[in-house]
Amino acid sequence: MERLKSLTDDVLVTLYLEGNNYAFDVLLERYKERLYNYIFFIVRSRELAEDIFQETFVKAIVNLQQGRYQSDGKFAAWITRIAHNLVIDQFRQERNENNISNDESDVDLLNNATYAEGNIENIMVNDQVLLDIRALVNELPEPQREILHLRYYQNKSFKEIADHTGVSINTALGRVRYAIMNLRKMVEKKKIILELE
């Protein structure tokens, strides 16, 4: 692990993608303080900052595994951009919660075209993808299945998950990371196409 600390970000990314999970741990350690401080400076809430911080690294893992990082020596800027986008998403979500919604109305007051003729197929495809994902999640080991359920189905923060399961926040993050890695392997092995419309 000490040897890894002297390597560049791009070398660590390559090692991680080749299966060396310690390489990602070094990246996490290298940028955690700077990234957390950046997020906290914007959101001004420790709990929300911790949540967005954890989500940033989960999203980074997914993007790395999907080949969405270009090795150009700008890992710090890349991961900061992910954090920034998640902060923006959080502000949008808060704003939308204060807006008028017609979700519970039989009449579409806002003229949404969700059920317009061309979109029924998209809805059916999305439903099937969600069923496929749920089936894959059920094949995960219990600790990973539990933590994904708490995070993505109950929208719990990583702090709440840690308290609920009696583990540290880092352990909760690690379980999510391994669960996502395992899901990705299952998707590739079973040749499932997961594309939401």
Give Cα 62 distance to the centre of its chain: 7
Closest to 107 in 3D by CA, of 119, 115, 95 = 115
Identify which has the larger pLDDT, 196 or 94.
Answer: 94
Q: What band does 129 get if pLDDT is binned at 50, 70 and 90?
A: low
Q: Give me the half-sphere count of Cα atoms (radius 13 Å) on the Cβ side of residue 74.
A: 8
Q: What band does 22 get if pLDDT is binned at 50, 70 and 90?
A: very high
Contacts 24+ apart (CB under 8 A), 49-52: 50/157, 50/158, 50/159, 50/169, 51/157, 51/158, 51/159, 52/83, 52/86, 52/87, 52/90
Domains of the chain, by residue range, sit at 1-99, 119-197
What fold is seen in the domain 119-197? Arc Repressor Mutant, subunit A (1.10.10)
pLDDT for res 197: 45
Q: What band does 106 get if pLDDT is binned at 50, 70 and 90?
A: very low
Residue 97 pLDDT more than 60? yes
Identify which has the larger pLDDT, 58 or 195.
Answer: 58
Residue 138 pLDDT more than 90? no
pLDDT for res 130: 66
pLDDT for res 107: 43
How many Cβ atoms from other residues are within 10 Å of residue 39's Cβ?
25
CATH class of 1-99: mainly alpha
Q: What band does 117 get if pLDDT is binned at 50, 70 and 90?
A: very low
Identify which has the larger pLDDT, 68 or 138.
Answer: 68
Spell 44-81 as b/e; 16+ CB within 10 A means b: eeeebbbbbbbbbbbbbbbebeeeebeeeeebeebbbe
What average pLDDT does the structure give for the chain? 79
Q: Is 44 left (phi over 0), alpha (psi -120 to 50) or beta?
A: left
Structure tokens at 52: 């967005």
Residue 110: φ, ψ to 5°:
-100, 10
Identify which has the larger pLDDT, 42 or 30.
Answer: 30
Regarding pTM above 0.75, the answer is no
